[in-house]
Amino acid sequence: MSYKTEIQDNIAVFTINNPPTNSINTEVLKGLEAIIDRVNAEEELKGLVLTGTGRIFSSGFDLVTFTTFESPEHIIQWFKDDEEIMYKLFTCSKPVVAALNGHASAAGFIVTQACDYRMMVNDPNAKVAMPEIKLGMSLSPCHNEIMKFGLETGKNWKRVIYNGERIPAPVALEMGIIDELVDADQLLEKAKAKVREYIDNPNRPFISIKAGYRKSAAQQMREAIDTCDFTMFVKTFTNPVVINQLKASLARMQGK
């Protein structure tokens, strides 16, 4: 299985475990959706921590999937499913903390920007990046709104999205797109402590405060998803130039 889910101290811990780069495939997405549903539904669960195995949090969506879609209908359904799951992540009622054990790129970084707090391993070699523009891809409606919300400023948007720059962890901290750098051996415990800090107050006011804070962005996200022309993804993922770029990127990841 390409992920694992644990309950530790009444906190859900979702770990991407899909070597070599912890890419996000359909199985990971469905597992993420299942644990979000549990966190929302089960009173005793305080929140959710997202992390990965090894030295990479996630390289983003699985490029094997992206270069082997079976049909236009397959492409459209894949992105419809992804949009709904990412919307669920953004609107999860309880605290969601990213505990980045290493690089977070593309969809791996988008996932972090949907979280309420982002910790990253204190390693100057660890980087965050959004390389989509260099690969010939744009952002989906939900991903676009998540990144606008998370990056907060036009300056950050230009640097991350338009330039596709690989940004070291200390610089990401200075930009405010990562909240805290943490030693690797303390990462998970500090992430769980942040969940408790947010939720362990009388009457759990975090839940209503978060809903109010994210309401406008969530409404824009919902409208963008509901009015999206998903055939734009067919155009992208049947474009030979894009497919060749993705295959080249996949080969680099696999060391070929």
Encode pLDDT of 173-183 as tens digits: 999 999 999 99
| Burial letters 94-119, b for 16+ CB under 10 A, else e | bbbbbbbbbbbbbbbbbbbbbbbbbb
pLDDT, residue 256, reads 56
Per-residue pLDDT at 152: 95
The pLDDT assigned to 253 comes to 78
Three-class secondary structure of residue 202 per DSSP: coil
Looking at residue 255, what is its pLDDT?
67
Phi, psi at residue 152, to the nearest 5°? Answer: 75, -40
Amino acid at 106: A
Question: Tokens in use for 67?
Answer: 């270069």
Is pLDDT above 90 for 251? no
Instruction: Quote the pTM value.
Output: 0.96
Note the pLDDT tens digit of each residue in 62-94: 999 999 999 999 999 999 999 999 999 999 999
Element (H, E) at 135: helix 132-135
Closest-CA residue to 14 (of 111, 127, 125, 151): 111
Mean pLDDT of the chain: 96
**3-185: what CATH class?**
alpha beta
Task: Provide CB contacts within 8 A for 48, sequence distance 6+.
Answer: 11, 12, 13, 14, 35, 36, 39, 92, 94, 95, 96, 97, 195
Amino acid 204: pLDDT: 98
pLDDT tens readout for residues 186-195:
999 999 999 9
Percentage of the chain exceeding pLDDT 90: 95
Q: Identify the CA nearest to 13 among candidates 195, 250, 230.
A: 195
